Amino acid sequence: MAGAGVAALAAAGVTLQNANASEPAKPAVQARPLSAPAAATLASDLTAHLGSSAAGSYYDAKARSLVVNVLDKTAAKAVEAKGAKARIVTHTLAQLDGARTTLKKDATIPGTSWSIDPVSNKVVVTADKSVTGARWDKLSKVVDGLGGTAELKRFQGEYKPFIAGGDAINGSGGRCSLGFNVVKDGQPYFLTAGHCTADISSWSDADGQEIGQNAESHFPGTDFGLVKYTSDAAHPSEVDLYDGSTQKITGAAEATVGMKVTRSGSTTHVHDGTVTGLNATVNYQEGSVSGLIQTDVCAEPGDSGGSLFSGDKAIGLTSGGSGDCTSGGETFFQPVTAALSATGTTIG
């Protein structure tokens, strides 16, 4: 892969009516059409404004609107006043975060993942095919103990980091994909997956020419690595679309559940999908990684580190998952915004 998260005002007219006339019904509040990046920004603003009254949000791509979960009618009115749809739900974010804390403490089992699903207002726990016997029984018991705040699902694939080595970057013992070109102190770098840089320190292009060496590596816990360019190779802020064209990347954005996204990688090239969860935890055999973006986009070994984007905005770096691009799968991504902040870099 080459360079591969509002106010609506209703005006009411005044009419003279006789004593027997009924009051006209107030028009329904209409949500304002939003792009996915704009919805992510609005979601962040509303969450900060509502505090504990907010309980998650997601993007309705078909309606092009932001849906915000709230706990009462007062919060719902505040959401609607900003041009989003409000939905009153049962579980608070504190309750859902509490369920995640319990899972981390009592059920950190390789082959499992969990994330808050704002659509169901629950923590969705998934186990891959490697979780059997006593481990499955333990996981089931923990989830059952969480009551209605969590649900358990089975996935027939197997969670693993997608290293095999997206434009491809090669190192001794493996191949990964370049995520996004970035700049630090005026110098060119690129981001890729941390589980790639954990094992490989020097990177070459398809012709075997060295292009960079590791500057930082973070895995497990998080999953990103920073590589400093050591050659004069061109490093435009673009993503390879593998059809002779590229997508220009102008900045980074936060993901939103429901956001339509595209992934580029050197093994399976370009595939589209939807963000299905945020702040997900995946328990790989190599260790646990948290704070990930969960999607229904497929990926395969060698796509690791590759770019996830929406339009001209960088969203994530391919971490791992299960399945493949023949039968479909589930893939997790390291948020780019977190990687940029941690490394002191900017898209460029």
- Report the CATH number that the domain containing residue 99 is assigned in CATH: 3.30.300.50
Going by pLDDT thresholds of 50, 70 and 90, the confidence category of residue 117 is very high
Q: Are residues 279 and 241 in the same domain?
A: yes
> What pLDDT sits at residue 143?
98
Q: Report whether pLDDT(35) > 60.
A: yes
∠ CA 121-124-127 to the nearest 5 degrees? 175
Q: Are residues 43 and 145 in the same domain?
A: no
Nearest-angstrom CA–CA distance, 3 and 180: 4
Q: Are residues 50 and 148 in the same domain?
A: no
Amino acid at 243: D
Q: Are residues 183 and 281 in the same domain?
A: yes
Q: What does the buried/exposed string (b/e) look like for 65-99 if buried means 16 or more CB atoms within 10 Å of the residue's CB? A: bbbbbbbeeebbebbbebbbbbbebebbbebbeeb
Nearest-angstrom CA–CA distance, 36 and 320: 24
Which residues are marked as active site? 195, 223, 304
Beta strand ranges found along 36-149 (DSSP E)? 54-60, 65-70, 85-88, 112-117, 122-127
Q: Is residue 207 situated within a structural domain?
A: yes
Average pLDDT over residues 113-137: 97
Q: Is residue 267 situated within a structural domain?
A: yes
DSSP assignment, residue 36?
A: H
Q: Is residue 11 situated within a structural domain?
A: no
Nearest-angstrom CA–CA distance, 252 and 187: 19
Residue 163: give its domain's CATH number. 2.40.10.10
DSSP assignment, residue 52?
A: G
Q: Are residues 322 and 200 in the same domain?
A: yes
- All residues at 6 or more sequence positions from 166 whose CB lies less than 8 Å from its CB, including other chains: 1, 2, 4, 176, 177, 178, 240, 264, 265, 266, 267, 269, 302, 303, 304, 305, 306, 307, 318
Q: Which of 154, 176, 203 is the last residue of a domain?
A: 154
Spatial contact of 122 and 96, defined as CB atoms under 8 Å apart:
yes
Spatial contact of 63 and 105, defined as CB atoms under 8 Å apart:
no
Q: Are residues 231 and 299 in the same domain?
A: yes
Average pLDDT over residues 122-148: 97
Instruction: Tell me whether strands 150-154 and 346-347 are parallel, antiparallel or unpaired.
Output: unpaired
Q: Are residues 180 and 325 in the same domain?
A: yes
Q: How many domains does the chain have?
A: 3
Going by pLDDT thresholds of 50, 70 and 90, the confidence category of residue 234 is confident
Q: Report whether pLDDT(173) > 80.
A: no
The dihedral built from the CA positions of residue 230, 232, 233 and 236, taken in this order, carries a sign that is: positive
pTM: 0.85
| Nearest CA-CA partner of 338 in 314, 302, 309 | 314
First-to-final CA distance of the chain: 16
Nearest-angstrom CA–CA distance, 205 and 169: 5
Going by pLDDT thresholds of 50, 70 and 90, the confidence category of residue 174 is confident
Q: Are residues 171 and 106 in the same domain?
A: no
Q: Is residue 7 situated within a structural domain?
A: no
Q: Are residues 71 and 101 in the same domain?
A: no
Q: Report whether pLDDT(9) > 70.
A: no
Q: Is residue 23 situated within a structural domain?
A: no
Average pLDDT over residues 46-66: 95
Peptide bond into 220 cis (omega under 30): yes
Q: Which of 105, 128, 154 is the last residue of a domain?
A: 154
Structural domain boundaries, residue 52: 36-88
Nearest-10 Cα torsion for 140, 146, 149, 154: -10
Q: Is residue 175 situated within a structural domain?
A: yes
Nearest-angstrom CA–CA distance, 216 and 195: 11
**Dihedrals φ, ψ of 106, to 5°?**
-110, -10
Average pLDDT over residues 264-284: 96
Nearest-angstrom CA–CA distance, 212 and 332: 25
Q: Report whether pLDDT(223) > 80.
A: yes
Q: Are residues 165 and 40 in the same domain?
A: no
Q: Is residue 268 situated within a structural domain?
A: yes
Q: Is residue 28 situated within a structural domain?
A: no
Q: Which of 73, 88, 103 is the last residue of a domain?
A: 88
In the chain, % of residues over pLDDT 90? 79
Q: Report whether pLDDT(19) > 50.
A: no
Q: Are residues 186 and 299 in the same domain?
A: yes
3-state secondary structure of 42: helix
Q: Are residues 242 and 308 in the same domain?
A: yes
| Cα within 13 Å of Cα(308), Cβ side | 36
Average pLDDT over residues 264-274: 96
